[in-house]
Chain A
Amino acid sequence: MFLDFQMDFIMFDRRKFLTTSLGAGAALGVSGLVPTWARPASMGNMGIPALTGTDFDLAVSKFKTRINGRVAMAVGVNGSVPAPLIRFREGDDITLNVTNTLDTDTSIHWHGLLVPFQMDGVPGVTFPGIKPNETFQYKFSVPQNGTYWYHSHSGLQEQSGHYGPIIIDPKGADSVKYDREYVLVLGDWTFTDPHRIFAKLKKNAESLNFNQSTVSDTKGLTGMWGAMRMSPNDLADVTGETYTYVINGHSTADNFNMVFNPGERVRLRIINAAAMTLFNVRMPGLPMTVVQADGLNVRPIETDEFQMGVAETYDVIVEPTEAKPFAFVAESIDRSGQVVATLGPKPGMRAQAPRLRAVPVLTMKDMGMDHSSMGGMSGMDNGSMEGMNAKPAAEMDHSAMGHDMGSGDMAGRKSDTMGQGSMSHGPNPNGPPVQLAKIEADIEVGPGVVNVAAMPTNRLNEPGIGLSDVPHRVLTYSQLRSLEPNPDMRKPGREVVVHLTSNMERYMWSFDGVKFSEVTESIKFMEGERVRLTLVNNTMMPHPIHLHGMFFDVVIPDYDDGYGTHRPRKHTIVTKPGEKLSVDISAEHVGDWAFHCHLIYHMHAGMMQVVSVLPNPQQSAAAPKMDHSKMDHTGMKGMK
């Protein structure tokens, strides 16, 4: 109880924190400062209280903690993994003082929050970072409410525990009704130095995968897979062999337990704060009603399971009527491990943990080679290589098209206005072609790019990888509908295509075949512009793609041709292997915004870019009325 009180105080009184809690932490040796909300019901957490504040003091340090009964070194905030819950009210002016007590730089990024870009917390993009012994003051107010989170954007600190939840309470009444709430922060803890994990992936990319092809399961050795030197077993780079999966820092053995009274509506705010792990989330025997995704309310939809990309958040309502313990299961996408929590009628109960399910294998569709949509090309499974190096549909002879690339602002990106007109493979899996001015890079196979997906398909109406044959309902992106009408109904005036590219063998990851270290030009959006971002995944892995400072209005082809009025809006979207999907973006906030894969080692390998929203003096006064027909690449001249 003493510690409880202390942690609640930390949020509001910096002096108290410095004098009392640091001393206590030191005396304990191993930090015992588990915040109230992250404690199990057996330690008094009967549901989190709706405390809000406006001033928060956060200290980043290196400290000992205990995970799964083992002492571990963490890098985190205020001595706990996860970091403290930051809860405030929509529209309030917030001040956060972040003190760095590490001997290296640190930072905090407010994931999904629409803050001024210089407060976004990405070193080298939006600010210089927080130096050792420095206190950086973040000040902002945000026009949104819901469940979000925060984490370091420096090095690999996030993997070491530098992440925590944010709840923004709505100004008025919450449209989601509930009697009790819990926050569940999912994580993948490792006792190995994250830099060592990255080094191992660089030396031998498959070395952390303990589900490789064997003599009794030769799919990955022969046929097209063997010819391509790609593995159908590569569902996760870092697996349960390395990771201890945790909920609020508790492993299955530690049993994060929550309580309910039968008949209550319990709101679970679920945040995937893992470094590398997509989780399959389910509560066997208890349907979940999804009410919010990525902090924004959605029309309530009942389901039994969903796959959660890294950095996504989902709020669900459960209404258990039976007085028995229910398991909350977060299973790693590659089924190499899981973490189980309990929701029970009494504190301290432990639900039966289900067994890990059979490991899924990838298919040709995940390679961007969906045979069902390719007609007579199925003869290619005999190992012929020609077809696999085929260039994407949009790639034509650009040199003959007379586009003026003059200014250099679009270095390396080519444009065409041909849409998908040249392809005629029956029904277009991406919906009706959109005739937009298009910016698309030339992607060529090379050391960093193994494959260019010949026939990427839209997979928004599919559940996550490995969940298409489970015997119950699974949520898909295309089922989501925003509760509120979309704020910007304009059609996009321009399409920017970004290819997700990789070479697993060399552990190289990039956008458009260009690593972040090699980027010489950011992607340019214009203030007031409505732009379509199309992601083409040429890799064999699902990537949770995150763009800072903006929301993605997901283009769902079978929802009013992609122009529905209640499209789901997300800050992070999982792009499945071999998928081509689009999102529409209102570029409202001027600034340089980080754009990256949220799998930390993919980002560290180079799968990152910056989107610059350029100020538009003519438009800022009278946005959003602009002549989109003049917004193609030629109009970009001199915008810098």
Chain B
Amino acid sequence: MRPITFLTTSAFAIVALSTTALPAFADDTDNPPWSMADKYWGAEEMAKARDHVQKNNGATPNYMIMGDRLEWQGTGSDGIFLWDAQGWYGGDLNKFWIKTEGEYSLADNEIEDAEVQAIWSRAISPFWDVQAGVRYDLAPKGRTHAVLGVQGLAPYWFEVDAAAFLSSGGDLSASVEAEYELRFSQRITLQPRAEVGFSASDIPELGIGSGITNFDTGVRLRYEIKREFAPYIGVEWQKSLGDTADFVRAGGGDPDDIVAVIGLRTWY
């Protein structure tokens, strides 16, 4: 904290304490950054305009909605539909995020896996945000987790989203995702992507074993009809590891699968 800010804050505190006894001092704390036009147009009018012009130049809130992966994956007979979407609202430093990810099985006509996160995000450096919040699992079960993570842009333009989850049952897990964008032209982009999952404990009812649970890596080739609207095709290698792989096998699945994907990346 700059010393001068500290002094100002202290002054505010002192005046705030004394206002009950001496309300006349309240005006002295109103220390506008400039005020010479007040005498021509009135202090009140200028205060409103000043407040507006300052907010309008640097503090306008923004939002974004993004479907990073809205795709069909060719697993099993009919495959699955996967969504991975985010949205945020806020200013440059503080943002409120919603993230959701899930899978809908076209064979079973049901949602197999779905979660939603509500997160407060704080910019801490040029390229990194710290994020904290809650995650709720819609399917399966109804677990709630505390979330703590970092999201940002690593050197050489790698987009990274890493988070640790502590469930209400006391289970600790984590995931790290990294994406890269390699442009072949101004509209055709190849996006390699990798995701690793960890779990500190066995959670048999979720089919999760301790250690590294899964490693998914793939590439998606998209065409940006507009920057905001880009259909893509791709391929992904989905590998379960350790005890998690055993759970998958026991359930009749393939712990080492290569799937084709067709999808859409879009934002607004």
Contacts and interface: CB of A to CB of B under 8 A. Distances in A.
Q: At the interface, is chain A mostly helix, strand, loop or mixed?
A: loop
Interface in A114-161: 117-118, 122-129, 155
Given A213-B183, A412-B4, A610-B34, A445 B126 contact: yes
Contact of B40 (A127, A447, A505): A127
A506 B48 contact: no
A155 B155 contact: no
Interface stretch (B59-67, B73-81, B255-263): B59-67
Given A127-B37, A222-B156, A411-B8, A606 B184 contact: no
A447 B8 contact: no
Given A203-B267, A227-B156, A517 B62 contact: no
Interface in A575-628: 590-592, 603-606, 608, 610, 612
A200 B205 CA distance: 44
Interface stretch (B49-57, B170-178, B193-201, B214-222): B49-57
B157 interface: yes
Contacts of B8: 408, 411, 520
A403 B124 CA distance: 30
B45 interface: yes
B186 A126 contact: no
Contacts of B5: 411-412
A128 B57 contact: no
A518 B93 CA distance: 12
B153 interface: yes
A202 B8 CA distance: 32
B46 interface: yes
Contacts of A505: 126-127, 153
Nearest to A591: B36
Contacts of A591: 36-37
B9 to A, nearest CB: 11
A200 B66 CA distance: 12
A445 B184 CA distance: 33
Interface-centre pick from B50, B54, B55 (highest chain A CB count, 10 A): B54
Given A229-B127, A517-B58, A118 B2 contact: no
B120 to A, nearest CB: 15
Nearest to B3: A405
Contact of A207 (B7, B52, B56, B227): B227
A398 to B, nearest CB: 11
Contacts of A227: 155-156
B4 to A, nearest CB: 4
Nearest to A515: B58
Contacts of A207: 227-228
Contact of A199 (B58, B62, B157): B62
B134 interface: no
B57 to A, nearest CB: 4
Contacts of A410: 4
Contacts of B55: 517
Interface in B58-102: 58-60, 62, 64, 92-93
A125 B58 contact: no
A411 B58 contact: no
Interface-centre pick from B42, B51, B153, B185 (highest chain A CB count, 10 A): B185
B169 interface: no
Contact of B186 (A211, A229, A521, A610): A211
B36 A590 contact: yes
A124 B127 CA distance: 33
A204 interface: yes
Contacts, number: 154
A411 B153 CA distance: 33
B34 A447 contact: no
B111 interface: no
A469 to B, nearest CB: 24
B186 A210 contact: yes
Contacts of A118: 37, 40-41
Contacts of B45: 128
Nearest to B155: A227
A122 B36 CA distance: 13
Given A129-B49, A605-B57, A521 B33 contact: yes
Contact of B41 (A128, A204, A213, A603): A128
A122 B40 CA distance: 14
A466 interface: no
A123 B53 CA distance: 7
A221 interface: yes
A590 B156 CA distance: 49
Interface string B201-235: 00000000000000000000000000110000000
Nearest to B185: A214
A410 B2 CA distance: 12
B50 A214 contact: no
Given A447-B126, A516-B58, A124 B33 contact: no
A347 B8 CA distance: 66
A612 B186 contact: no
Given A203-B267, A215-B183, A603-B57, A221 B49 contact: no
A383 interface: yes
A214 B184 contact: yes
A610 B33 contact: yes
Closest 9 CB pairs of A and B: A124-B53, A606-B58, A515-B58, A517-B58, A517-B59, A447-B123, A124-B49, A516-B57, A226-B156
Interface of B: 2-5, 7-8, 33-37, 40-42, 45-46, 48-60, 62, 64, 92-93, 123-127, 153, 155-157, 182-186, 227-228, 267
23 contacts: A118-B41, A125-B50, A128-B42, A128-B46, A128-B48, A204-B227, A208-B227, A214-B186, A215-B182, A226-B157, A229-B156, A383-B155, A408-B8, A410-B4, A412-B2, A450-B126, A516-B58, A517-B55, A517-B59, A520-B8, A520-B33, A522-B34, A590-B36
